[in-house]
Amino acid sequence: MINRRVITVIKREFKEKLLSKAFIISTLLIPVFMFGILGLQTVFMSIEGDDGTNLLIVSESSEITSKLQTELADKDYVTEGKYLLTYKTVNEGSRDEIIKENKNDLLGESLTGVIYIPQDALEKKEIEYYSKNTSNISIFDNLRGPVNSILMNIYFQDKNLNEDDLVFAQRWVDFNGFKVSESDEIKEEGVGNRILSYLFTFLLYMSLLIFGSMMLRAVVEEKNNRIVEVLLSSLHAKELMTGKILGNTIVGLIQMTIWLLPVMVVISSTIFVLPPKFTIDLTMGHIGYLLFNFFVGLMTYLGLFATVGAIFDNEQDAQSGMWPIMLLIMIPFFMSFSMIKNPNNSMAMIGSMSPFASLIIMPARMTLVDVPAWQIITSMAVNIGTLSVIFPIAGKIYRVGILMTGKKPKLKEIIGWIKAKN
Amino acid sequence: MNALQVKNLTKRFDNVVAVNSANFEVPEDTIFGLIGRNGAGKTTTIRMMMNIYLPDEGEVIFRGNKVGQEFKDRVGYLPEERGLYKKMKVIDTLNYLAELKGKSGKAVTKKAYEYLERFDLKDRANSKLEELSKGNQQKVQFISTILHDPEFIILDEPFSGLDPINTNLLKEIILDMKKEKKVIIFSTHLMDFAEKMCDHIAMIDNGKIILSGALKEIKQKYSQNNVSLNYTGDISFLDSLPFVEKVENFGNTTGIRVKSNDDTQNLLRALLDHNVIVNKFDANEISLHEIFVSLAGTEVEAVEKEVKK
C-alpha cells in the first residue's frame, strides 16, 4: 500500500508539520504546561481559603483549655494570623447557653465557628463544631491533630507512661512500599514511577488531542478549498489518507520521543542521580513499548479523526462529530488516573488490553506494576487488530465523504458507504 | 483510434441517477467537448473518467485497458472549483503536485520557473498561495495542470470564474496543447465556445448522452434542409407554406427546416415577397446551440419538464 505517491504525501505532511510553529511550540510548551498544572494544583491545594478564621474554643475543663492554648499557640496558622482563636472554659452542660450567646455572631459570620469540647471528650473523643458552614474541612484537618494529642496527654498522664511511650502511641503508621519483581533484588520504591505514570498518561492524552484535531482541521480544509479534487486526480483517496496519517504519525512519534528523552537519559545512564524518593524503576523496554503502542494507536485515532473530517464540510459540524472520538480518548485518560491509586484493580487490567483504551492505560500500568508478558502481547495484538479493522473502514468513509459537499450525510448513508463494494 | 471509450457509465446518488448509461468516445489528437447545462452530469462523468468516482455500472477504457493509475499519471486536471493549499509556497505547490504525478527533480523545478516567468509570476515563486490575488492563484493552478507534461488535459468548466486576461491565457494554453497533439477534454455549458474549439463533442442532458461524434459530421447531419435566419418583420405566414417543416425560435436566430434542399430558394423568395427584411440567411448552417435546443429544449422548457415530473 505504500508506494511513490504515498511517500510523496508523507514527505509533504512531515515537512509541513515538523517545521510548523505549532509543532515547535507544542513540543516545548506541553511539558511546561504539564508541570505548570502540577505546580498550580499544589498551589491551589495549599490555599485553604481559611484566612480570617475566627474561632471560639470552648471547653468544659480548664486543663484542656490551657493545654490546648499552649499547643496551638505556635502553629503556623495562628502565628501567621490566619486563625484568630479565643478560649473559654465553662461549666459542664453550658453548651446551649454558649451557642445562644454567640448565635448572632455566627450568623453574621463575624465568628466562624464555635468548637465545643465536652468533658466526655476524654472518653469518647468526640467534639462538636457549631458554624454556619460546617463543611470547612481544612479547619478540622488543622485542629484534629493538636486536639487529639492534648486529649491523649491528659488521658495517659495518670497511667504511668513515660514520654517515649506517649510519642510512640501518637505516631502514625507509615507504609513503605517494596517492589517484588522477577529479579532477585527487592527495591524500596519511591514515588518516581507514580510520577512517571502520570506523565505518560498526560503526554499520550495531549498528543492524541493535538494531532487528532490538527488532522481533523487539515481534512476539512482540504475538502473545503477543493484541493482534494486536484489531489484525487493524481492518486487514490486511500493513498492520500494513508500518506496523511503516516506523515502525521511519524511527526507525533518524533515529538513523543523528544518528550521522553529526559526519562530515557535518566534510566539509561548513571549521570543523573535522583534522590531515593524519586528513583525510577523502568527499562528501555517500557519506553520502547510505549512508543510502539503510541505509533499504532495514533494511526488508529488519526484514521478516526480523518474520517470525521471527511464526513463534514465545515469545522463547526466536524467539532460536534468529534465527540465520540473524544470520549474514546477521555474515558481511558480518567481510567488511567484512577488506576494510579490502585494499579491492580481489574478495570485497569481490562482497560489496558481493550481497543482504544490500551494506548493510554497500558504504559501507565506498566510503570506501576509488573505486567505479565502475555498481557503486553495481548495489548499489542489488540492495538494492531484495532488498527487493521478501523483503517479500511475509515478509508471507505473517507473516500466517499471527501468529495461530498452540501448537506450533512445521515448515519444510514455513511453505513451505506462502508457497505459499498468499492 | 480512440484514446478513451466511455461504456454504459452509470452513477447514482441517493437514488438520483446523475449519469445514466453514458456512451461516447474520445479520439486521439482531438479537443473534445462535453456539453450540457449545469447539473446535467458533466462533472460526475469527468470524475468517473478519472477514476475519482467509481461508476455504479459501466467502465472507462483507456487505450484498451480500464482507467486506473496509469491514466491518472498522464492526465492534467483542472476542476471547476479550484483551490490549492493556502499556506504552501507557489514553487513547493508546483513541485508537490508534479511529484504526485511521478515527475520530480531539478528539471521539473526549472520548468516550473519557466512557466512562472511566462505568466509573470517569477517573483512570487516563494510567496504563499494566500498572498496571491485570486487571478494569480488561478494561474498557478493552470501551471500545476500542465507542468508534468500530461498527454491528456481535462478541464471542467474551465472558464467559469476567470477574468478576461486569464480566459485568454487559458485559451492560449489549450491551443498550445493542441499543437503538441495532446488530447484535451473539457466540459462546458457555453455552446459558442465549444463550437469554436472542439473537434468532437458529446452532449449530455439529465444524465443522458443525447448526441456524440465529430462536430463536423453532426453539423452536416443537422444542417441539411436547415436555414438559419435573422430578420425584421412578420414571419407567421411561414407555418402555412407547404414546404416548411418546422420553425423554431432560438432567440438570436430563427431556425427553419424545409422539406428538400431546393426549397431553400423558395423560402427566400417567399420571405422577400412578404416584405420581411432579411439580415442573415444561412442555408445549410446550424449552430451547436440550435442543435442542443432542438434536442433538449430551452432552459425554460427543461424546467417545465422537470416540474411536470
Q: Report the relative pairing of strands B2-13 and A187-188 from DSSP bridges.
A: unpaired
Rounded to whole angstroms, the Cα distance separating A6 from A241 reads 9
With beta carbons under 8 A apart, name residues in chain A contacting B94. Answer: none
Report ipTM for this prediction: 0.82
Q: Give the chain A residue whose CA is nearest to the CA of B55.
A: A422
Residue A347 and residue A283 share a domain: yes
Domain boundary among B186, B202, B218: B218
Reported as a single tens digit per residue, the pLDDT across A188-202 is 566 778 888 888 898
Q: Which of A36-40, A177-181, A380-384, A398-402 has the lowest mean pLDDT?
A: A177-181
Q: Give the chain B residue whose CA is nearest to the CA of A11.
A: B96
Average pLDDT over residues A279-288: 81
CB A198 within 8 A of CB A278: no
pLDDT value at residue A1: 72
Q: Give the chain A residue whose CA is nearest to the CA of B93.
A: A12
The alpha-carbon gap from A9 to the nearest alpha carbon of chain B, in Å, equals 8
Cβ neighbours for A348, distance < 8 A, ≥ 6 positions apart:
A335, A336, A339, A342, A361, A365
Residues on chain B bordering chain A, Cβ-to-Cβ distance under 8 angstroms: 14, 47, 50-54, 69, 72-73, 75, 77, 79, 81-88, 96-97, 99-102, 141, 144, 154
CB A117 within 8 A of CB A57: yes
Q: Do A233 and B154 touch (CB under 8 A)?
A: yes
Q: Give the chain B residue whose CA is nearest to the CA of A405.
A: B81
CA distances from B181 to A165, B30, B186 (A): 106, 8, 15
Q: Look at residue A85 and tell me if it is in a domain.
A: yes
pLDDT of residue B262 exceeding 70: yes
Q: Is A129 helix (H, G, I), strand (E, B) or coil?
A: strand
Cell numbers representing residue A329 in the block: 480518548
Rounded to whole angstroms, the Cα distance separating A274 from A191 reads 11
Residue B209 and residue B158 share a domain: yes
Reported as a single tens digit per residue, the pLDDT across B24-35 is 999 988 999 999
Cβ neighbours for A71, distance < 8 A, ≥ 6 positions apart:
A146, A149, A150
Rounded to whole angstroms, the Cα distance separating B72 from B17 reads 25
pLDDT value at residue A137: 77
State the DSSP string of B214-238.
EHHHHHHHHHTTEEEEEEES--GGG
CATH number, domain with residue B244: 3.30.70
Number of folded domains that form chain A: 2
Cβ neighbours for A323, distance < 8 A, ≥ 6 positions apart:
none
Residue A98 and residue A194 share a domain: no
pLDDT value at residue A179: 66
Rounded to whole angstroms, the Cα distance separating A181 from A166 reads 38
Phi/psi region, residue B149 (left: phi>0; alpha: psi -120 to 50; beta: rest), is left
- A214 lies within 8 A of chain B by CB: no
Residue A241 and residue A158 share a domain: no
Q: Look at residue A176 and tell me if it is in a domain.
A: no
The alpha-carbon gap from A252 to the nearest alpha carbon of chain B, in Å, equals 21
pLDDT value at residue B82: 85
Cβ neighbours for B94, distance < 8 A, ≥ 6 positions apart:
B108, B112, B115, B116, B140, B143, B144, B147
B175 or A175, which is more confident: B175
Average pLDDT over residues B289-297: 81
Task: Indicate the residue of A8, A226, A233 with minimum beta-carbon distance to B72.
Answer: A233
State the DSSP string of A320-341.
HHTHHHHHHHHHHHHHHHHHHH
Q: Do B99 and A227 touch (CB under 8 A)?
A: no
Residue B120 and residue B266 share a domain: no
Beta partners for residue A56, in sequence order: A86, A114
B21 exposure class (CB count in 10 Å sphere: 0-12, 13-18, 19+): middle
Domain boundary among B174, B197, B218: B218
Residue B111 and residue B33 share a domain: yes
Query: Residue A255, Cβ neighbours under 10 Å: how many?
Result: 22
Average pLDDT over residues B104-111: 92
Residue A159 and residue A270 share a domain: no
Residue B244 and residue B116 share a domain: no
Residue A340 and residue A217 share a domain: yes
The alpha-carbon gap from B171 to the nearest alpha carbon of chain A, in Å, equals 20
pLDDT value at residue A272: 67
Mutate which: A23, A233, A238, A403, vs B, most B CBs within 10 A:
A233
Q: Do B79 and A229 touch (CB under 8 A)?
A: yes
Residue B202 and residue B102 share a domain: yes
With beta carbons under 8 A apart, name residues in chain B contacting A232. Answer: 50, 52
Residue B79 and residue B24 share a domain: yes
Rounded to whole angstroms, the Cα distance separating A350 from A336 reads 12
With beta carbons under 8 A apart, name residues in chain A contacting B52. Answer: 229, 232-233, 403
pLDDT value at residue B299: 60
Cα angle at A159 between A155 and A165, to 5 degrees?
85
pLDDT value at residue B34: 93
Q: Look at residue A178 and tell me if it is in a domain.
A: no
pLDDT value at residue A253: 95
Size of interface A-B (CB pairs under 8 A): 58
Mutate which: B52, B86, B101, vs A, most A CBs within 10 A:
B52
pLDDT of residue B110 exceeding 80: yes
- A7 lies within 8 A of chain B by CB: no
Reported as a single tens digit per residue, the pLDDT across A228-247 is 999 999 999 999 999 999 99
Task: Indicate the residue of B52, B84, B96 with minimum beta-carbon distance to A233.
Answer: B52
Residue A69 and residue A33 share a domain: no
Average pLDDT over residues A280-305: 90
pLDDT value at residue B166: 87
Residue A63 and residue A27 share a domain: no
Residue A275 and residue A205 share a domain: yes
CB B83 within 8 A of CB A225: yes
Residue A374 and residue A227 share a domain: yes
Mean pLDDT in chain A?
85
Q: Look at residue A22 and tell me if it is in a domain.
A: yes
Domain boundary among A170, A203, A236: A170
Q: Is B78 helix (H, G, I), strand (E, B) or coil?
A: strand
| C-alpha A370, offset from chain centre | 21
pLDDT of residue A74 exceeding 60: yes
pLDDT band at A274 (very low <50, low <70, confident <90, very high): low
pLDDT value at residue B148: 93
pLDDT of residue B118 exceeding 70: yes
Residue A291 and residue A230 share a domain: yes
Of the segments A86-90, A278-282, A295-299, which one has the largest average pLDDT value? Answer: A295-299
Q: Do A8 and B50 touch (CB under 8 A)?
A: no
Residue B161 and residue B79 share a domain: yes
Q: Give the chain A residue whose CA is nearest to the CA of B52.
A: A232
Helix (H) or strand (E) holding A122, with range, is helix A121-124
Domain boundary among A120, A140, A170: A170
Task: Work out the end-to-end distance of chain A between its first and last CA atoms, rounded to an integer number of angstroms.
Answer: 16
Residue B240 and residue B166 share a domain: no
Q: Give the chain A residue whose CA is nearest to the CA of B148.
A: A234
As a dihedral over the C-alpha atoms of residue A254, residue A255, residue A259, residue A262, rounded to 10 degrees, the angle is 30
CATH number, domain with residue A124: 3.40.190.10
pLDDT band at A347 (very low <50, low <70, confident <90, very high): confident
Among the listed residues A61, A63, A59, the one whose alpha carbon sits nearest the alpha carbon of residue A143: A59
Among the listed residues A22, A10, A395, the one whose alpha carbon sits nearest the alpha carbon of residue A214: A22
Q: Do B52 and A403 touch (CB under 8 A)?
A: yes
Q: Look at residue A234 and tell me if it is in a domain.
A: yes
With beta carbons under 8 A apart, name residues in chain B contacting A231. Answer: 100
Answer positive or negative: Cα dihedral of B177, B182, B187, B192: positive
Q: Report the relative pairing of strands A83-89 and A53-59 from DSSP bridges.
A: parallel
Q: Do A225 and B84 touch (CB under 8 A)?
A: yes
Reported as a single tens digit per residue, the pLDDT across A47-56 is 656 677 888 8
The alpha-carbon gap from B44 to the nearest alpha carbon of chain A, in Å, equals 11
Average pLDDT over residues A20-45: 81
pLDDT value at residue B125: 92
Owning domain of residue B197: 2-218
Number of folded domains that form chain B: 2
Rounded to whole angstroms, the Cα distance separating A197 from A335 reads 12
The alpha-carbon gap from B42 to the nearest alpha carbon of chain A, in Å, equals 15
Residue B179 and residue B239 share a domain: no
pLDDT value at residue A378: 93
Q: Look at residue A47 and tell me if it is in a domain.
A: no
pLDDT value at residue A409: 79
Average pLDDT over residues B128-144: 92
Among the listed residues B55, B53, B62, B71, the one whose alpha carbon sits nearest the alpha carbon of residue B8: B55
Q: Which of A215-224, A253-262, B240-249 has the lowest mean pLDDT?
A: B240-249
AA letter at B234: D
Residue B199 and residue B108 share a domain: yes
Q: Look at residue A183 and tell me if it is in a domain.
A: no
pLDDT band at A211 (very low <50, low <70, confident <90, very high): very high
Residue A415 and residue A286 share a domain: yes
pLDDT of residue A82 exceeding 90: no
Domain boundary among B193, B218, B243: B218
Q: Give the chain A residue whose CA is nearest to the CA of B87.
A: A16
The alpha-carbon gap from A20 to the nearest alpha carbon of chain B, in Å, equals 11
pLDDT of residue B135 exceeding 80: yes
pLDDT value at residue B300: 58
pLDDT band at A371 (very low <50, low <70, confident <90, very high): confident
Reported as a single tens digit per residue, the pLDDT across A106-143 is 888 888 888 898 888 888 888 888 888 877 777 888 88
pLDDT of residue A417 exceeding 90: no
With beta carbons under 8 A apart, name residues in chain A contacting B69. Answer: 235-236
pLDDT value at residue B307: 55
pLDDT value at residue B171: 87
CATH number, domain with residue B197: 3.40.50.300
Owning domain of residue A226: 4-40+190-419
Query: Residue A234, Cβ neighbours under 10 Å: how many?
Result: 26
Residue A410 and residue A348 share a domain: yes
pLDDT value at residue A182: 63
pLDDT of residue B298 exceeding 80: no
pLDDT value at residue B204: 92
What's the DSSP call for residue B37? -
Reported as a single tens digit per residue, the pLDDT across B46-105 is 999 988 888 889 999 988 888 888 899 999 999 988 889 998 999 999 999 999 999 988
Mutate which: A16, A227, A236, A408, vs B, most B CBs within 10 A:
A227
